[in-house]
Structure 1
Amino acid sequence: MKKYLPILRTSPFFKGLTDNEILSILHCVNAATISRKRDSYIFRAGESTEVMGLVVLGCVLVIQEDLWGHRNILSKCHAGDFFGEPYAASPGAVLNVSVVADEDCEIILLNVQRLLVSCPTVCDHHQKLIRNLVGVLANKILILNDKITHVGKRTTRDKLLSYLSSVSIRQASLSFDIPFDRQQLADYLCIDRAAMSSEISKLQKEGLIKTNRNHFELTVCNDTDSGIKM
Structure 2
Amino acid sequence: MQETGTLFCETTVNIEINDLWGNRSILSNVSAGHIFAETYALSREPLMVDVVSAEDCEVLFLNLSALTDPLYANDSWQRKFMKNILNACVQKNQVLSNRIFCTTPKSTRARILTYLSYQAVKEGRTTFRIPFNRQQMADYLNLDRSALSKELGRMRDEGILEFRKNQFTLTGIQLSP
- Partner SS, residue 68 of structure 2: coil
Q: 1:49 to 1:99 in 2, by over 3 A?
A: farther
Aligned-pair CA distance for 1:169:
0.5
Unaligned 5+ segments in structure 2 are none
Instruction: Report if the CA contact (8 A) 1:53-1:83 is conserved.
Output: yes
- Partner SS, residue 88 of structure 2: helix
**In the alignment, which of 172, 176, 188 is matched to residue 128 of structure 2?**
176
Number of aligned positions between the proteins: 177
Q: 1:168 to 1:49 in 2, by over 3 A?
A: farther
Aligned-pair CA distance for 1:99:
1.4
C-alpha distance in 2 between matches for 1:96 and 1:186: 21
C-alpha distance in 2 between matches for 1:212 and 1:118: 54
1:136 matched to which residue of 2? Answer: 88
C-alpha distance in 1 between matches for 2:73 and 2:148: 55
- Letter of the aligned partner of 2:63 in structure 1? N
Q: Percent identity?
A: 34
2:40 matched to which residue of 1? Answer: 87
- Letter of the aligned partner of 2:24 in structure 1? R
C-alpha distance in 2 between matches for 1:74 and 1:214: 18
RMSD: 1.7
2:59 is the counterpart of 1:111: no
1:146 matched to which residue of 2? Answer: 98
Instruction: Give deviations 1:140-164, integer Å, cap 9, x for gaps.
Output: 1110000011100111100000000
1:186 matched to which residue of 2? Answer: 138
Unaligned 5+ segments in structure 1 are 1-42
1:20 matched to which residue of 2? Answer: none
TM-score if structure 1 supplies the norm length? 0.72
Q: Which aligned pairs between 1:209-220 and structure 2 lie closer than 5 A?
A: 209-220=161-172
Aligned-pair CA distance for 1:50:
0.7
Instruction: Report if the CA contact (8 A) 1:63-1:71 is conserved.
Output: yes
Instruction: Report if the CA contact (8 A) 2:14-2:52 is conserved.
Output: yes
C-alpha distance in 1 between matches for 2:172 and 2:69: 51
Instruction: Report if the CA contact (8 A) 1:49-1:87 is conserved.
Output: no
Q: 1:124 to 1:156 in 2, by over 3 A?
A: same
C-alpha distance in 2 between matches for 1:128 and 1:96: 28
Aligned-pair CA distance for 1:100:
2.1
Instruction: Report if the CA contact (8 A) 2:3-2:63 is conserved.
Output: no
Instruction: Report if the CA contact (8 A) 2:72-2:78 is conserved.
Output: no
Aligned-pair CA distance for 1:111:
1.3
Instruction: Report if the CA contact (8 A) 1:119-1:126 is conserved.
Output: no
C-alpha distance in 2 between matches for 1:55 and 1:69: 26
1:63 matched to which residue of 2? Answer: 16
- Letter of the aligned partner of 2:55 in structure 1? E
2:77 is the counterpart of 1:125: yes
TM-score if structure 2 supplies the norm length? 0.93
Aligned-pair CA distance for 1:95:
2.5
